[in-house]
Each structure stands twice: as structure tokens, then as C-alpha cells.
Amino acid sequence: MIDDFKKNKNLYEKSLIAVDPIIFTISDKKLKIFLKKREKDPFKGKYELPGGLLLHDETAEQTMERKLKELLGDFKIFFMQFQSFTKPNRDPRERIISIGFMALVNEESIEIKDSWFDVEKLPDLAFDHKEIITLAKNHLCQHLNLMVAKQFLPEYFPLNKLQEVHEVVGKRKYDNRNFRKKMIQSGCVEETDQIQKGCSHRPSKLYKFKAEVHEISCK
Amino acid sequence: MIDDFKKNKNLYEKSLIAVDPIIFTISDKKLKIFLKKREKDPFKGKYELPGGLLLHDETAEQTMERKLKELLGDFKIFFMQFQSFTKPNRDPRERIISIGFMALVNEESIEIKDSWFDVEKLPDLAFDHKEIITLAKNHLCQHLNLMVAKQFLPEYFPLNKLQEVHEVVGKRKYDNRNFRKKMIQSGCVEETDQIQKGCSHRPSKLYKFKAEVHEISCK
DNA sequence: GCAAAAGTGTTACAGATACACCCATGG
DNA sequence: CCATGGGTGTATCTGTAACACTTTTGC
């Protein structure tokens, strides 16, 4: 391929490479994403994904880690690639290829509480970011499984919170008795001796994921 | 992001962008992919994916269409993005980001009969192409549905061929009676009045997909 | 008539669904 | 004592799995 490039440098063009993180969390029973407001043209005043360019010696995954640390702080965050975006004029200034990643964070680990937008009520977006977010939402919804749900929860959680995650991401309701039965039977979660505190109703038992939960799917 | 670039051009580096097509077909009850032999160093004599660079005004999808036409001829081929590869040194000469696509073709539309390798018996591969192929195989296997199966079959096909596609891609066996029942009940295929010819055994009825088959999943 | 693949129905089992009431706590 | 969310069992339905023999054709 490089040989093609050497033969005819006019045809091919080197391009900047960026990652665009779609950072999801669940808060207030809604799926939300992190956006920032643009302070410069083009698209001044609109919102954008908090993307970043790859450094010369970085993989896209390393760029994601660097950006996430910068945005949310230094703790481990789960993320996965879902699609790359290559329209030549997606940035009006200069060609940039963007690799889309979705990242999943537990609400409780978030310090900055603003900047989060309900995916059903997004503001005006810069570049092709609306399209990117739509695809990320579909990808998340289609890849909902226990590994994904786990990312939205703290280590110890009530089963009803796990159900809530499934309901919000999967955009559907589950029967509470059936959901609990299925989760317990699946062997992926286990009861602990911890109890929920500080709630003005019957406190729930807390569960945790068994260590071996990795890729178990859950419709 | 471009502002970051303008501030410090040393840190960021523009890169060539390529597509790498993993072209699958089913032949002889095996899943096969298209590879070509490298005639130059590096990796001279090893096999590689038939990748191509993005032209300055092309999306990755347009590059795929151009390359597929060049490799296999001018007919419509189904393909989908599955992952991008960004290790800085994946090509020892110069940085190239590669966007991996899997393409699916029906054996009968192939003219060039060599160049196809059983995915279970791959030759030595150049660059990171072994890794790319492994990921493409997993992706294909996990995304097996009727839309995918359709790509491996001609317009009119025996139900048993559809079963074969599912068995080869899904690496498992299906019970013939149950499989037929399920396919017919699903309403995605319909019987035609066409009959298989030129076989030395009982000829089968031929079926076709109904028009609306797009994204129906099938375990 | 034999080889080779096509085609066909019934029973058993497991997983999914539907459904309504009592419980524990804080205020 | 009341409001709030936590927690529980049974009966039915539906889709999947297991299973073996007859049919049609070419040679």
C-alpha cells in the first residue's frame, strides 16, 4: 500500500487521526452522555464529543485512556471501539478520520456533574457528532450484556438497580420476579452480607458480580 | 482537535489511512478468505490482505467498493466495518491506520478460483494481518444472521444450503427437520417453483429470501 | 437396485412470560 | 400508620431439541 503512496503522492493524502469517546452513564433512570461546548468556530456554541488526536506513538486505545483520565479522572474505565468515520469533509477545516469508542462509567464515580445530557434530549451538535452518537446508542443497545451492565454499577448493588440498567439501556421493562430469578439462576451475581443504607424504605440486600463475568449475554 | 494540532505539530502526526478487506466466501463446506502474496519486502513471500489506501476524496466505504471491484469484478458486494487498527508500528516503514472491513461473497460469483484460503489453514501472514483475520472471524461468527447468510447464497437456493452456511459460519450442526421448520416459520424465506438441476440425486426445491429480510437475527 | 441427498411429524423439555400480594424501613 | 421500594411462587406458554425413516433422482 505504501508503494501506491510512493508512486503517486497526489492521489493519497495523509490525515489526522482522532478518537471520539461517547461516554455513557445512567443517572436518574436515563441514559446520558458527556458533551462539551465549543468555544471556537466552526460550530461555536454547539456541543461536541470530547475527542482527541492520536499522538505519534499512541494507539487509539492509549489516546482513549489519556483523554478519559483528563476528562473524568484517573480510574479504570471500560471502553470499546464501535466504528470509524471517514467522510473527507466531516471537519470543514481539514480531513480528520475519527475512531468512535463508547465508554461506560458508573454514575457514582463521576465528579463533574454537569456536561451530561440525556440521549433523548440532545442539544445542537457540531460536525457529524449527532450521527456518531446515534450509531453509538444503537451499538450499546445491541450489545447489552452483563459485562456492559456491570460498568454502570458500583461493586455492591441491589438487584433492582441491575434491572434498572437493563431497562434503561434496552428501552423495555422486565418483570421483577422473572428478572431476579434469571439473574440468580445465571450464576453471574452473588448475594453478599451487605445491606443498603440511608434509604427511606426497606433496604435491599446488595449483590456483586462473580469474578468470571466477562462476556455473558443477556437479552 | 485541530487546534491542538496547530499548537504542537511535533506531537501529532498525520498518517496514511487504509482499508483492509477480509473477503469471506463459503466453498467446499469451508469458510475461506481472499489473500494475496507479497512480492516486495517487507514480508516478501508472505500473504497479506488485499488492502488499499483511501484517496483524498474517498470515504473508507468508497475505497472498499473500488478495491472490491478491482479484485473481484464489478458487482454488488456486501461489506461492513468491524474494527480499526492503529498500532504505530504495524507497518515497519511508516505509520498506517487500517480500517478492517469484512466482505461476504457468494462462491458462484467468483471468477478467480485460487487466492482463497481455508480460515483454519492460513499461510504465514504479513504485518498484523493474522490478528485482523482472527478478529474478523469472531465478528462474523457473532453476527451470523439471515442477512449475513444471504450473502453467501445465490438468489435461488436449497434450504439445505442455507443450513450449510449456518453450520460453517456458526461452527456447529443443526438438526435438519428443526432447521427447516424454523426457517419456514420465520417467514423470511419462500418456496419458489424452481427446482435444482444437474445433481445425481433427488433434486431439491429452491427457495429465495423474501424482500424484507434485512436484519433478522438467527442463532 | 444402489448411492446420495431431499424431505417429513411428534414428543419432551427448558426457558420465558404473566400475574398479586406481603415486607421492612424512615419519617 | 403511611409511603416507598424490596422481595417472593406458581401456572402457562412458546420455542428448542431429540429423534428415524421414506422419497426422488442419476447412474
Distance in angstroms (rounded) separating the CA atoms of residues A144 and A163? 12
Q: What is the pLDDT of residue B66?
A: 98
- Contact between B59 and A88 using a beta-carbon 8 Å cutoff: yes
B105-158: pLDDT as tens digits: 999 999 888 899 999 999 999 999 999 999 999 999 999 999 999 999 999 999
Most distant CA pair in chain B, distance: 73
Give chain B positions within 8 Å (CB) of A93: 2
B163-219: pLDDT as tens digits: 999 999 999 999 999 999 999 999 999 999 999 998 999 999 999 999 876 654 444
Pairing of strands B30-34, B116-118: antiparallel
Distance in angstroms (rounded) separating the CA atoms of residues B67 and B77? 11
* DSSP label at residue A213: -
Closest to B106 (Cα-Cα) out of B75, B81, B137: B75
- pLDDT means over runs of 10, chain A (219 residues): 80 94 97 97 96 96 98 97 98 97 96 92 98 98 96 97 98 97 95 93 96 57
Q: What is the pLDDT of residue A218?
A: 42
**Total beta-carbon pairs less than 8 A apart between chain A and chain B:** 103
Q: What is the pLDDT of residue B35?
A: 98
Taking residues B3-32, what's their average pLDDT?
92
**Which residue segments constitute the domains of chain A, with CATH numbers given?**
2-142 (3.90.79.10), 149-209 (1.10.10.10)
Cell numbers for B79: 461489506
Give chain B positions within 8 Å (CB) of A58: 88
Neighbours of A97 (CB within 10 A): 24
- Contact between A60 and B96 using a beta-carbon 8 Å cutoff: no
Question: Could you give the 3-state DSSP secondary structure of residue B155?
Answer: coil
Q: What is the pLDDT of residue A201?
A: 94
